[in-house]
Amino acid sequence: MKKLTITIALMLVVALAMPAFGASFSDVPSDHWAYNAINKLVAAGIVEGYPDGEYKGQQSMTRYEMAVMVSRALDNIVDEMEAMGEGLTTGQAEDVTAIVKSLMEKNTNDELSDAQAEEVADIVDALTFELRSELKVLGAEVDTLGKDVDELAAKVEAMEVPEDNIEFGMDVTTTFEAASYGEDAAEEGYTINLLEDGDAIDESFTSDPDEFTSKKAFFQEYDFNINGMLGDATFNLDVDTIANVFTEEDHVANAVSETNQNDFMMDSALLEVSYNNYSFQIGDLNDYSVAPYFNDEEDREGIEMTTSYMDNDIKTFVLGADVSEDTFGTTTVDSDANDEEYYGVEVARDMEFGRVTGKLYHARDIDFDGFNMAEYAVTAEKNETTILAAQIEDVVITDAISMGAEVAFSDWERDAYTTYDSDASATEAVAADDDSDIYFNVNGEFVATEELTLDATIETVGEDFVGPYNDLEEASDYDMFNVGAEYVLNENNTVTGAYTLVDHNEPEDKSTVELGLENVYGDFTNNASVEFVMNDDYTDDYETMIIVLGTEYAWDETLTLGAELTNKTKDEAGTDAITYNYLTAFADKELADNITWNTEAFFIDGELDEINEGQGNGMTTSLSVSF
């Protein structure tokens, strides 16, 4: 029994000789059953954990990790044994005595006397001295084992193990469309005018006919995807093609649609690449947004690069447009937008007081249609603008108040151009011009309580500020003041409200009041809003009312249903200018993990004035299969 006790004591001396362990890993709580054991291994240098400070005890251990841990343990044993070859230190002798006393008390009824404890220490001391040569041989073998493990790890790392790092995918979508816009061309035109309104489809039928459901269409879309890794680079390539292989499309007003052709045609392609500290997007950048005053949500083609350098986030881009033609009645002419070019660079940095961004944008050869300066403007000459801006965001004033601001300076130069009427006949020659002005925006947020949040915005745009394809309240020359609030009634209901006043270069100021409710009731997600505009179009006694009611219902995990109704009435000094009800509905069904069936429908009924009416309906249903 004493020999067994001494042997156990000898093994424990090695562990006790290690330095005291410190704090454990972030994912190992102090009350975990393995807490002490893990920290002993850390103190012994056998376990180091992962770079993120976690032990990851639920993660499987590889054979390489096991080899490293065994090698470290053997190294520690050899070091201790070699040190013990000179005999036990005073501390080790005391540890041996304490261990043996404890074991004797637990396993026998005898207590260890001081003389017996001294005898045990002498025996352990003698054994370590007697076995010193064997321990040196063991140490040499452990060193050799460690070298072998290092060599094996190096060979494995150097091996070019073939791996399939590239994945291919394809989505095949079969779509059927059917719609009715009226009994004759005039009624179709009225219905299209209703749908073009900003609170219905909010797209121009002339420039985006594909946003309007075809009277009859049956076609397929083939979307290809390739993604993977090549060395340190990751990439993702999306290619969308369209082919109508079923029937000729019958579009409203005989418009030409991208889907009305029988051959494969590449609709769009986007390549995304990440390499080290760089990210690139090359190809079709749909709904690309730069700033509210410069190219806001426009389809562009080009390249974008983002990176960081010395804690600065950098983004740069070069973009172009491919509009091809402008249509004027029955006449088409080459569009000047073909030659539009957009350049930009942004440098942002997180400071102690907030995030600061410097911006430089330049646009050249801009088509005047983009500014809506003349309804049928076509120019053979070009114009360009340069915008220099500075922005600060997320400035924390107090725990409850944060602010942001931006100022932009535009320098614009325009060559002479000629306007054309709807028959493409020259009407007016406009002289060259140049000017400059500013855009300024300041905004803030106040968290009054956990339930109530207030926000405010002041924005001013100079008379000669030029921002191509902007999403401002007006193109230029206005001051806007906005205040808003959000109040969380409970976890299922949130109320929002806002008031906006716009002072434009018109006789009257326009003001808008908005109220909204977001509600969750069981599997239903509902929304309701009311918007009332006074002095609409900056004209006295012009009023507009818009009411929206919507809902989504999660039928089950595979089916979602939804519908939304928009009612709009615009009154111009007692005369109905436009009135309509616009209803949309959808059903999204997941038939399998790789098969979805989506259906959308619309119905619109309204009046453009007291004489002309429009009514239309349509449905689009599509089956998508992913491979």
Reported confidence tier of residue 546, pLDDT bands at 50, 70, 90: very high
Does residue 521 or residue 33 have the better pLDDT? 521
Pick from 500, 494, 532, 536: which is nearest to 516 by CA? 494
List Cα–Cα distances, 112 to 12, 90, 99, 106, in angstroms. Answer: 18, 19, 11, 11
CA–CA separation, 209 vs 415, rounded Å? 32
pLDDT in tens, 283-325: 988 888 899 999 887 788 899 999 999 999 999 999 987 655 5
CA–CA separation, 88 vs 133, rounded Å? 16
Reported confidence tier of residue 130, pLDDT bands at 50, 70, 90: low
Q: Which helix (H) or strand (E) holds 516?
A: strand 510-521
Question: DSSP secondary-structure letter at 294?
Answer: B
- Is the pLDDT at 572 greater than 60, yes or no? yes
- In this prediction, residue 328 carries a pLDDT of 43
User: Mean pLDDT, the chain, as a whole number?
Assistant: 79
CA–CA separation, 261 vs 266, rounded Å? 12
- Maximum mean pLDDT: which of 125-139, 359-373, 428-442, 531-545: 531-545
Does residue 453 or residue 19 have the better pLDDT? 453
Reported confidence tier of residue 404, pLDDT bands at 50, 70, 90: very high
- Maximum mean pLDDT: which of 114-118, 130-134, 215-219: 215-219
Dihedrals phi, psi of 472, to nearest 5 degrees:
-80, 165
Share of the chain above pLDDT 90, in %: 40
- In this prediction, residue 616 carries a pLDDT of 94
Q: Which helix (H) or strand (E) holds 618?
A: strand 613-626
CA–CA separation, 421 vs 203, rounded Å? 22
CA–CA separation, 455 vs 405, rounded Å? 13
CA–CA separation, 337 vs 582, rounded Å? 33
Reported confidence tier of residue 610, pLDDT bands at 50, 70, 90: confident
> Residues 42, 49: contact at Cβ < 8 Å?
yes
Q: At how many degrees (to 10) do helices 114-130 and 2-16 cross?
A: 70
- In this prediction, residue 622 carries a pLDDT of 95
For the chain, which residues make up each domain, given as ranges? 2-158
Pick from 241, 209, 207: which is nearest to 225 by CA? 241
Q: Of the given ranges (139-153, 425-439, 514-528), which has the lowest mean pLDDT?
A: 139-153
- In this prediction, residue 13 carries a pLDDT of 44
Pick from 421, 430, 315, 329: which is nearest to 375 by CA? 421
Cβ neighbours of residue 333 closer than 8 Å, sequence gap 6 or more: 325, 326, 378, 420, 424
CB atoms within 10 A of CB 537: 14
> Residues 585, 562: contact at Cβ < 8 Å?
yes
> Which residues, in sequence order, are bridge partners of residue 176?
218, 621
C-alpha count within 13 angstroms, C-beta hemisphere, residue 452: 4
pLDDT in tens, 67-121: 666 667 667 766 665 555 555 566 666 665 666 566 555 555 555 566 665 665 5
Q: Which helix (H) or strand (E) holds 496?
A: strand 493-504
Reported confidence tier of residue 5, pLDDT bands at 50, 70, 90: very low
Q: Which amino acid is at 206?
A: T
Pick from 408, 413, 459: which is nearest to 437 by CA? 408
Q: How far does the chain reach from its first CA to its final CA, in angstroms?
A: 70
